[in-house]
C-alpha cells in the first residue's frame, strides 16, 4: 500500500465521531495512561462540534483507506474572529503513521485556514508528542504556553501552540 491509496474526505461520514474517538482512546491509553476521562472528553467534544458544524467556518477532514477512517483533523472556526480558530482532534492510526498521511491532513487544514483568512489558529496538546509537534512547527505554529496540568485526566506538561497567519 502507498499513500496514494489513501484519500482525504472533507466533512462528516457515518461513524466518524466514533472512529476518531476510538483512535484517540486506543492510541493515548497505552502510551500516556489517558483512559476513560480522556476518551469521554474527546467523544463529547467532537459530538458537540459536529452538532454545530458549519462548512462556512469549520473543517473536518478524514483520511480513508478504502472506506475505513484511519485519521482525521478538525478546524473549529466558531471563535475565529475573537479567540482564533482551533485545530483539534488530529490523529492518525499508528499503522499509517510515518507515511505522509498526517502531513496531507495538516496541509488541507492549513489551506482551509488561509482560504478562510483566519488571523490566528491555536491548538492545545501536551509535551512528548514529537512527530505531531514537528508537523505543527513546519507549518508555522509556535509554542506560546507550557505548564504542568491535568486537563487531560492525568498530570502532563500541557502546551498551547499558536499560528499567526500574518507571519
**Cβ count within 10 A of residue 150:** 10
Under 8 Å CB-to-CB from 160, ≥6 apart: which residues?
A: 122, 123, 124, 143, 144, 145, 146
At residue 1, the pLDDT reads 47
**Rounded Cα–Cα distance for residues 80 and 88 (Å):** 13
Mean pLDDT of the region 136-160 = 91
Residue 79 lies in domain: 3-164
**Rounded Cα–Cα distance for residues 6 and 59 (Å):** 19
Q: Which of 31, 149, 59 is nearest to 23 (CA)?
A: 31
167 pLDDT band, cuts 50/70/90, is low
The number of CA neighbours under 13 Å toward the Cβ of 80 is: 20
Which residue(s) pair with 85 in the sheet?
121
Q: Is pLDDT above 50 for 34?
A: yes
Q: Is pLDDT above 90 for 164?
A: yes
The CATH number that applies at residue 15 is 3.40.630.30
Residue linked to cell 458544524: 53
Summarize pLDDT for 83-132 with one digit per residue, the tens: 999 999 999 999 999 999 999 999 999 999 999 999 999 999 999 999 99
Summarize pLDDT for 12-24 with one digit per residue, the tens: 999 999 999 999 9
**Rounded Cα–Cα distance for residues 101 and 120 (Å):** 24
Q: How many domains, in total, are found in the chain?
A: 1
Amino acid at each position: 500500500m502507498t499513500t496514494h491509496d489513501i484519500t482525504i474526505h472533507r466533512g462528516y461520514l457515518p461513524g466518524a465521531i466514533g472512529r476518531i474517538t476510538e483512535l484517540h482512546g486506543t492510541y493515548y491509553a497505552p502510551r500516556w495512561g489517558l483512559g476513560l476521562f480522556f476518551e469521554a472528553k474527546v467523544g463529547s467534544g467532537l459530538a458537540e462540534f459536529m452538532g454545530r458544524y458549519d462548512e462556512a467556518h469549520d473543517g473536518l477532514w478524514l483520511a480513508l483507506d478504502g472506506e475505513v477512517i484511519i485519521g482525521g483533523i478538525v478546524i473549529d472556526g466558531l471563535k475565529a474572529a475573537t479567540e482564533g480558530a482551533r485545530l483539534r482532534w488530529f490523529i492518525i492510526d499508528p499503522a499509517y503513521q510515518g507515511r505522509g498521511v498526517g502531513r496531507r491532513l495538516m496541509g488541507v487544514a492549513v489551506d482551509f485556514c488561509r482560504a478562510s483568512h483566519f488571523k490566528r489558529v491555536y491548538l492545545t496538546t501536551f509535551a512528548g508528542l514529537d512527530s505531531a509537534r514537528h508537523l505543527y512547527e513546519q507549518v508555522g505554529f509556535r509554542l506560546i504556553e507550557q505548564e504542568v496540568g491535568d486537563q487531560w485526566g492525568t498530570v502532563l506538561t500541557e502546551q498551547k501552540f499558536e499560528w499567526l497567519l500574518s507571519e
